[in-house]
A and B are shown apart, each in its own frame.
Chain A
Amino acid sequence: EAEVAQSPRYKITEKSQAVAFWCDPISGHATLYWYRQILGQGPELLVQFQDESVVDDSQLPKDRFSAERLKGVDSTLKIQPAELGDSAMYLCASSRLVTGELFFGEGSRLTVL
């Protein structure tokens, strides 16, 4: 069964360093999402792509976060510089239709020291 792939699974970094996360959605899924899940909370949307275009990045802290999906397939989420408050699970999800079921990856857990 096809799955959403994410890497790395775990990342420990020091404050002010740069960090990047990668996501490969299920083949054929045009919509891709990045969510941030702080421990004990529900996920919150950072950015939504439709193919290579950003649909919603209203909650993305653009002074330090960036996201791209250049060829409309895989995607990269970057944080520079990382801050202590960025420690969280970063979840990638994809869906075939904009209003279809979201399929989630296992997430990338970031710890900022």
Chain B
Amino acid sequence: AQTVTQSQPEMSVQEAETVTLSCTYDTSENNYYLFWYKQPPSRQMILVIRQEAYKQQNATENRFSVNFQKAAKSFSLKISDSQLGDTAMYFCAFMSLYGGSQGNLIFGKGTKLSVKP
């Protein structure tokens, strides 16, 4: 069974600084998707970034980028130029592409990020 581990329950960063959130996962599959989702207080969860495991190039979306290390099963999220609106819970998630679990997201426990002015 796949597992996702986020070892940082809470983090804080000053506005305009850079912060990195850590995530490790465990799977025996070779191809899969990895995601970072953001859940602002009292609002719905939204996709931040997606990485396809067969792609070696790290995904980037504006101020958000990932460091995907497939052999180490590590998938960290870097937020550059942090903004107050980045304050939220961030969840790392794994998606299997095969079998009965296809399409299901397996989430870590989340990291609560606070951006301070």
Tell me whether A75 is interfacial, beta carbon within 8 Å.
no
CB proximity to B under 8 Å, residues A66-113: 91, 93, 95, 98-102, 104-107
Supposing A40-B109, A41-B109, A41-B110 touch, asked if A106 and B43 sit within 8 A by C-beta, the answer is yes
Supposing A41-B110, A99-B33, A105-B44 touch, asked if A55 and B105 sit within 8 A by C-beta, the answer is no
Contact indicator A55/B109 (Cβ below 8 Å): no
Q: Name the one of A3, A48, A107 contacting B104, with C-beta atoms under 8 angstroms.
A: A48
Give min CB distance, A111 to chain B, whole Å: 15
Contact indicator A91/B109 (Cβ below 8 Å): no
Contact indicator B103/A95 (Cβ below 8 Å): yes
Tell me whether B101 is interfacial, beta carbon within 8 Å.
yes
CB proximity to A under 8 Å, residues B98-117: 100-110
Contact indicator B44/A99 (Cβ below 8 Å): no
What is the size, in residues, of chain B's interface with A at 8 Å between Cβ atoms? 25
Q: Name the one of A4, A41, A45 contacting B105, with C-beta atoms under 8 angstroms.
A: A45
Q: Name the one of A40, A42, A45, A99 contacting B91, with C-beta atoms under 8 angstroms.
A: A42
A43 to B91, CA, bound (A): 9
Total A-B residue contacts, Cβ distance less than 8 Å: 57
Tell me whether A14 is interfacial, beta carbon within 8 Å.
no
Give min CB distance, A90 to chain B, whole Å: 13
Supposing A48-B103, A95-B103, A106-B44 touch, asked if A42 and B109 sit within 8 A by C-beta, the answer is yes
Contact indicator A99/B95 (Cβ below 8 Å): yes
Contacts of B11 in A (CB 8 A): none
Supposing A91-B45, A101-B47, A101-B50 touch, asked if A56 and B104 sit within 8 A by C-beta, the answer is yes
* Minimum CB distance partner of A101 in chain B: B47
Give min CB distance, A57 to chain B, whole Å: 10
Give min CB distance, B64 to chain A, whole Å: 15
Question: Mask for A38-67, Cβ within 8 A of B = 1, else 0?
Answer: 001111110010000001101000000000
Question: 4 extra interchain contacts, Cβ-Cβ under 8 A, other than A4-B44, A56-B104, A104-B37?
Answer: A3-B44, A41-B109, A45-B106, A100-B103
